Amino acid sequence: MLSLAVFAAGCADTASDAGGGGGSGAELAAPDSPHLEAARAEGQVTWYTSHYSSETAEAIAGLFEEAYPGITVTLYRQTAQRIYQRFAQEQEAGQTVADLLGITEVSLVADLASKNQLARYVPTNAAEVDPAYAAYNDPDGYYHVANVGNNIISYNTDMLSEQEAPHSWQDLLDPKWRGQIATGNPGASGYVGTWATWAYLEFGPGYLEQLAAQDVLVGQSITDTIPRVAAGERAVGVSSDQTTAKAAAAGDPIGIIYPDDGAVVMPTPNAIPAAAPHPAAAKLLADFIISKPVQQFLVESEALIPLTPGIEPPAHVRPDATYVRPELQELTDNLETVIGEWRRLFGV
């Protein structure tokens, strides 16, 4: 198992010279991009992503269209497994629709690469990404990290104080949290799939069995937990830090606990299909997402963790917390088993 304080590197140098992330999308364009002319000729790009909430994905798509007038983004925002399944159907039919794939479960993307269904592409601005995150890029160039977040414990601040909230994944098994927990579904969500696989390996299969006995409210996406916890339908949730932080900033009564036994790190990749109909526009969008100005915007507007050094991370980020993650091979070997166990135990 991998355990690292991954954000120590990302937060060590937070200079204030990164430049503001506000303003119009036109200010975020890269006029010297080698892909711009061909992308304009293509005139469109279809983006499948599970990395962000619908609102955040729509904001990025809107900024891209402002930055590059004449190139239209068709957005399909769904959970990781749903995108993977849809893309698999496209491959079976020989009709690729997606130009850029953003799938939060890296083992699914690695699977597509192993089937020769992805094109090699190293972003033009890849060198701008913090090495701590670039380490999760595919060494053969078939996918690259486009977003980073963490599985954490959220809690309703009207119902619980920070001291009263659970402070570890093991704490969720305490009988006092029976009927008080919300999660997503590892059969749908890449975030939940990675977290559940890590817990299965770290604590043993009995962990999921004990969690199932807690009368957990199971949604689909990990973002489904946010409104349920904020509304008091459940007191705590297995959530992502970025969506929880954004909800808190909007005034929702929800807080973040970075678990003592480890926040599960999610370096989530983008990839371009080998048969993408609009490959130049896909490359332009891929570069746009990880560019420093867009990363600055995403920090300020969406509470996302920046990929590039020199940008101060959101206030919720805890460099001193414990961060953990299963290795890629562990995910590849165990994810389907964990999904099957979840279905058996939770009935979904």
- Per domain, the residue ranges of the chain are 14-148+267-302, 150-264+321-346
Query: One-letter amino acid identity for 96?
Result: T
pLDDT computed for residue 25 by the predictor: 80
pLDDT computed for residue 12 by the predictor: 42
Measured between alpha carbons, how far is residue 25 from residues 17, 44, 51, 277 in Å? 20, 17, 20, 25
As assigned by CATH, the class of the 14-148+267-302 domain is: alpha beta
Spans of the chain below 50 pLDDT: 1-22
pLDDT tens profile 85-126: 999 999 999 999 999 999 999 999 999 999 999 999 999 999
14-148+267-302 and 150-264+321-346 agree in CATH topology: yes
- DSSP conformation letters of 64-130: HHHHSTT-EEEEEE--HHHHHHHHHHHHHHT----SEEE-S-HHHHHHHHHTT-EE----TTGGGS-
Place of tokens 């506000």: 22
pLDDT computed for residue 5 by the predictor: 35
pLDDT computed for residue 26 by the predictor: 84
Task: Map residue 264 onto helix, strand or coil.
Answer: strand
pTM of the predicted protein model: 0.89
Helices H, strands E: what count in the chain? Answer: 13, 12
**Max CA distance (Å), the chain:** 60
pLDDT tens profile 241-277: 999 999 999 999 999 999 999 999 999 999 999 999 9
CATH of 150-264+321-346, one of 3.40.50.300, 3.40.190.10, 3.30.1360.120, 1.10.1060.10: 3.40.190.10
The tokens for 218 are: 């199971």
